[in-house]
Amino acid sequence: MRHLKTAALAVSVSVMAMTAAQAAGHGGKTIKWTSQGDALTLDPHSQNEGPTTAMNGLVYESLVTRDPELNLVPELATSWEPTEDGWMFKLREGVTFHGGEALTAGDVAFSINRAKQETSDFRTLITSVTGVRVIDDYTVELVTDGPNPILPNQLTNIFIMDSGWATENNVVRPQDYAASEETFSIRNANGTGPYIITERLPEEMTVLEANADWWGAGQFPGNVTRIEYRPITNAATRVAALLSGEVDFVLDPPLQDLERIGNTDGLRYETVAQIRSIFFGYDQGAEELRTSNIEGANPFADVRVRKAVSLAIDRNAIQRVVMDGLSVPGGMVASPGVLGWNAEHDTPPAVDIAAAQALMAEAGYGDGFSVRLDCPNNRYNNDEAICQAAVSMLARIGIDVTLDALPRSQHFPKIQNRETDFYLLGWGVPTLDSHYIFSFLMQTGGSWNATGYSDPELDALVEAMLTETDIPARTAMIEQAWDIVQAAEPYTTIHHQVLAWGLRDGVTVPMAADDTPRFRYAVVE
Interacting residue ranges for another protein, rule: CB under 8 A: 40-41, 43, 46-49, 118, 121-125, 175-183, 186-187, 201-205, 230-234, 236-237, 240-241, 243-246, 378, 406-413, 416, 427-428, 440, 447-448
* Sign of the alpha-carbon dihedral angle for 412, 338, 346, 509: positive
E strand residue ranges, 137-266 = 139-144, 195-201, 205-210, 224-229, 249-250
Name which of 208 and 261 has its Cβ closer to another protein.
Answer: 261
- Is the Cβ of residue 71 or residue 234 nearer to another protein in the bound state? 234
Shorter beta-carbon distance to another protein: residue 40 or 358: 40
- Would you call 381 helix, strand, or coil by DSSP? coil
Q: Cα torsion for 440, 446, 452, 454, to the nearest 10°?
A: 90
Contact of 76 with 193, CB cutoff 8 Å: no
CB of 234 to another protein, least distance (A): 5
Q: How far is the CB of 87 from another protein (least distance, A)?
A: 20
CA separation for the pair 67, 65 (Å, rounded) = 7
CB of 445 to another protein, least distance (A): 9
Q: Shortest approach of another protein to residue 238 CB, angstroms?
A: 8
Give how far Cα 101 sits from Cα of 115, 210, 261, 431, Å.
Answer: 20, 18, 45, 31
- Nearest distance from residue 187's CB to another protein, in Å? 8
- The nearest distance, CB 246 to another protein, in angstroms, is 6
User: Which CB, 186 or 303, lies closer to another protein?
Assistant: 186
The residue (of 219 and 417) whose beta carbon lies closer to another protein is 417
Nearest approach in angstroms of CB 94 to another protein is 33
Which residues fall within 8 angstroms of residue 278, CB to CB, at 6 or more apart? 327, 380, 383, 386, 424, 425, 426, 493, 494, 495, 496, 497
Least Å from the CB of residue 59 to another protein: 17
Of 373 and 425, the one with the shorter C-beta distance to another protein is: 425
Q: Angle at CA 159, nearest 5°, toward 523 and 106?
A: 125
Burial of 134: CB neighbours in 10 Å, binned 0-12, 13-18, 19+: middle
Nearer to another protein, 126 or 309 (CB): 126
Q: Which is nearer to another protein, 182 or 362 (CB)?
A: 182
**Whole-number Å distance between alpha carbons of 238 and 250:** 7
Answer yes or no: are the C-beta atoms of 55 and 42 closer than 8 Å: yes
Q: Is 221 exposed, middle or buried (0-12, 13-18, 19+ CB in 10 A)?
A: exposed
Q: Find the helix or strand (DSSP H, E) in which 386 lies.
A: helix 383-395
Return the number of the residue (138 or 279) whose C-beta is nearest another protein.
Answer: 279
Residue 119 C-beta: closest distance to another protein, Å: 9
Cα–Cα distance, 509 to 521 (Å, whole number): 7
Find out whether 315 and 479 touch, Cβ atoms under 8 Å: no
